[in-house]
Amino acid sequence: MGRTLLRLGVGTTIGMAIATMLFSTLIWLGYSDAQTTGQPVTFAGIDIYRIADGYGIPNHTNMTWLGIVITGSWIVLVEMLRSIRGRRRLKTTG
Protein backbone atom coordinates (compact mmCIF):
# COMPACT_ATOMS: atom_id res chain seq x y z
CA MET A 1 0.00 0.00 0.00
CA GLY A 2 2.83 2.40 0.84
CA ARG A 3 4.58 2.01 -2.51
CA THR A 4 1.28 2.48 -4.36
CA LEU A 5 0.54 5.73 -2.53
CA LEU A 6 4.08 6.94 -3.12
CA ARG A 7 3.80 6.11 -6.83
CA LEU A 8 0.44 7.91 -7.07
CA GLY A 9 1.80 10.92 -5.19
CA VAL A 10 4.81 11.18 -7.48
CA GLY A 11 2.58 10.72 -10.53
CA THR A 12 0.25 13.46 -9.32
CA THR A 13 3.15 15.84 -8.72
CA ILE A 14 4.60 15.16 -12.17
CA GLY A 15 1.16 15.56 -13.79
CA MET A 16 0.63 18.93 -12.10
CA ALA A 17 4.11 20.04 -13.16
CA ILE A 18 3.36 19.04 -16.78
CA ALA A 19 0.07 20.97 -16.72
CA THR A 20 1.74 24.04 -15.18
CA MET A 21 4.56 24.04 -17.73
CA LEU A 22 2.07 23.54 -20.56
CA PHE A 23 -0.14 26.46 -19.50
CA SER A 24 2.84 28.72 -18.84
CA THR A 25 4.25 27.96 -22.29
CA LEU A 26 0.90 28.48 -24.01
CA ILE A 27 0.36 31.82 -22.28
CA TRP A 28 3.93 32.89 -23.05
CA LEU A 29 3.56 31.98 -26.72
CA GLY A 30 0.06 33.43 -27.10
CA TYR A 31 0.47 36.61 -25.05
CA SER A 32 1.45 38.93 -27.89
CA ASP A 33 -1.33 37.62 -30.14
CA ALA A 34 -3.85 38.02 -27.33
CA GLN A 35 -2.62 41.54 -26.73
CA THR A 36 -2.83 42.64 -30.38
CA THR A 37 -5.95 40.77 -31.53
CA GLY A 38 -7.91 40.60 -28.30
CA GLN A 39 -8.45 36.85 -28.80
CA PRO A 40 -8.01 34.69 -25.69
CA VAL A 41 -5.23 32.14 -25.35
CA THR A 42 -6.82 28.71 -25.70
CA PHE A 43 -5.92 25.07 -25.19
CA ALA A 44 -8.01 22.55 -27.12
CA GLY A 45 -10.54 25.29 -27.83
CA ILE A 46 -10.95 26.20 -24.13
CA ASP A 47 -10.03 29.71 -22.98
CA ILE A 48 -7.25 29.76 -20.39
CA TYR A 49 -6.11 33.40 -20.53
CA ARG A 50 -7.33 36.69 -21.94
CA ILE A 51 -6.30 40.32 -21.89
CA ALA A 52 -8.85 43.00 -21.05
CA ASP A 53 -8.06 46.70 -20.62
CA GLY A 54 -4.34 45.95 -20.70
CA TYR A 55 -4.50 43.42 -17.86
CA GLY A 56 -3.99 39.68 -18.18
CA ILE A 57 -6.85 37.65 -16.73
CA PRO A 58 -6.35 33.91 -16.26
CA ASN A 59 -9.38 31.65 -16.36
CA HIS A 60 -8.70 29.69 -13.18
CA THR A 61 -11.70 27.40 -13.52
CA ASN A 62 -10.78 26.16 -16.99
CA MET A 63 -7.11 25.77 -16.09
CA THR A 64 -8.04 23.82 -12.95
CA TRP A 65 -10.25 21.37 -14.83
CA LEU A 66 -7.77 20.96 -17.65
CA GLY A 67 -5.01 20.42 -15.08
CA ILE A 68 -7.08 17.71 -13.38
CA VAL A 69 -7.63 15.98 -16.73
CA ILE A 70 -3.92 16.19 -17.65
CA THR A 71 -2.85 14.92 -14.22
CA GLY A 72 -5.38 12.08 -14.28
CA SER A 73 -4.33 11.11 -17.80
CA TRP A 74 -0.70 11.05 -16.72
CA ILE A 75 -1.47 8.78 -13.75
CA VAL A 76 -3.52 6.40 -15.92
CA LEU A 77 -0.76 6.28 -18.53
CA VAL A 78 1.94 5.53 -15.95
CA GLU A 79 -0.15 2.83 -14.28
CA MET A 80 -0.95 1.21 -17.63
CA LEU A 81 2.71 1.17 -18.61
CA ARG A 82 3.63 -0.28 -15.22
CA SER A 83 0.99 -2.99 -15.63
CA ILE A 84 2.23 -3.89 -19.12
CA ARG A 85 5.81 -3.99 -17.89
CA GLY A 86 4.81 -6.24 -14.99
CA ARG A 87 3.02 -8.66 -17.30
CA ARG A 88 6.04 -8.87 -19.59
CA ARG A 89 8.28 -9.61 -16.62
CA LEU A 90 5.95 -12.44 -15.52
CA LYS A 91 5.94 -13.98 -19.02
CA THR A 92 9.74 -13.96 -19.28
CA THR A 93 10.32 -15.48 -15.83
CA GLY A 94 7.50 -18.06 -15.99
Tell me the per-residue pLDDT of 51-93, one tens digit each, with 9 for 90 and over.
Answer: 988 889 999 999 999 999 999 999 999 999 888 887 776 666 6
Q: For residue 7, which of 69, 78, 90 has the smallest C-alpha distance?
A: 78
pTM of the model: 0.79
Contact (Cβ atoms closer than 8 angstroms) between residue 19 and residue 71: yes
Confidence of residue 19 (pLDDT cuts 50, 70, 90): very high
**3-state secondary structure at position 12:** helix
Average pLDDT over residues 4-18: 91
Question: Side chain identity at 67, as an amino acid letter?
Answer: G
